[in-house]
A and B are shown apart, each in its own frame.
Chain A
Amino acid sequence: GENVEQHPSTLSVQEGDSAVIKCTYSDSASNYFPWYKQELGKGPQLIIDIRSNVGEKKDQRIAVTLNKTAKHFSLHITETQPEDSAVYFCAAALYALNFGKGTSLLVTP
């Protein structure tokens, strides 16, 4: 089955800096790659996704890149703010979402 590796497990950045979280996947058939943000006491919330026919997608301060050949995809957050502090999960999917273990991001003022 699909195996998704996510790094780093924790990330601390200063407000205004950029944050990058990387994921690799094993099943070359996977074609959908969402990113979820989970705040304390809440369920995961989709923040951006990308499909296999696209190499990059941007939404304001958030961007995702996909390298299908290398089977890895990354989340980039620019101009980080304290409210970006949360746990971020990547996932790779063909018929079901396979999640990474998550990255705990802390943005310090």
Chain B
Amino acid sequence: ETGVTQTPRHLVMGMTNKKSLKCEQHLGHNAMYWYKQSAKKPLELMFVYNFKEQTENNSVPSRFSPECPNSSHLFLHLHTLQPEDSALYLCASSQDRLAGGSSYEQYFGPGTRLTVT
């Protein structure tokens, strides 16, 4: 186990539903990330939080809404999703965020397999 847990592991939701994905890290890290993994595409960085503050939003549609109440927990709130949003959503954490001259190993959770019907 990597020390990063995600729930639920699988989620099926309709386009009008509202659901949330949860991520928790037990590593004492300061930075947390949401990634989207679709078949035949590179992992796409969605959001970055460092010390609970959002430091990056990679032009993600507003139907995805992140929340980071503390350095150990990260949520992704979902509403009115589209079928093309079906993917594996991965959470990761690192000691601190990448900062040019330094680099920190990112630890990934197992992901939530999301299917939008």
Select from chain A the residue with minimum beta-carbon distance to B107. Answer: A46
**Residue B60 lies at the interface, judged by CB distance under 8 Å to chain A:** no
Instruction: Determine the chain B residues whose CB is within 8 A of the CB of A45 once the complex forms.
Output: 2, 108
Q: A4-B42, A95-B98, A96-B48 are in contact. Are A34 and B108 (CB under 8 A)?
A: no
Instruction: Determine the chain A residues whose CB is within 8 A of the CB of B43 once the complex forms.
Output: 44, 89, 97, 99
Select from chain B the residue with minimum beta-carbon distance to A46. Answer: B105
Mark B34-69 against chain A: 1 for CB-CB distance below 8 A, else 0. Answer: 000000111101001000000010000000000000
Cβ A96 vs Cβ B98 within 8 A: yes
The listed residue (B45, B98, B109) touching A32 by CB distance below 8 A is B98
| Interface contact tally, CB-CB below 8 A | 58
Q: How far is the CA of A99 from the CA of B46 in the complex (A)?
A: 13
Interface size range on B against A: 20 to 34
Q: How far is the CA of A51 from the CA of B2 in the complex (A)?
A: 23
Cβ B42 vs Cβ A98 within 8 A: yes
**Residue A109 lies at the interface, judged by CB distance under 8 Å to chain B:** no
Cβ B98 vs Cβ A97 within 8 A: yes
Would you give 15 A-B contacts (Cβ < 8 Å), ordered by A?
Answer: A31-B101, A43-B90, A43-B111, A44-B43, A44-B108, A49-B103, A89-B42, A95-B98, A95-B99, A95-B100, A96-B45, A96-B56, A97-B98, A99-B42, A101-B40
B binding-site residues for A, Cβ under 8 Å = 2, 4, 40-43, 45, 48, 56, 90, 92, 97-101, 103, 105-111
| Known pairs A43-B108, A49-B103, A95-B100 / 19 extra A-B pairs, C-beta < 8 Å | A4-B42, A31-B101, A31-B103, A32-B103, A34-B106, A41-B110, A43-B92, A43-B109, A45-B2, A46-B105, A94-B98, A94-B100, A95-B99, A97-B98, A98-B42, A99-B42, A99-B43, A100-B42, A101-B40
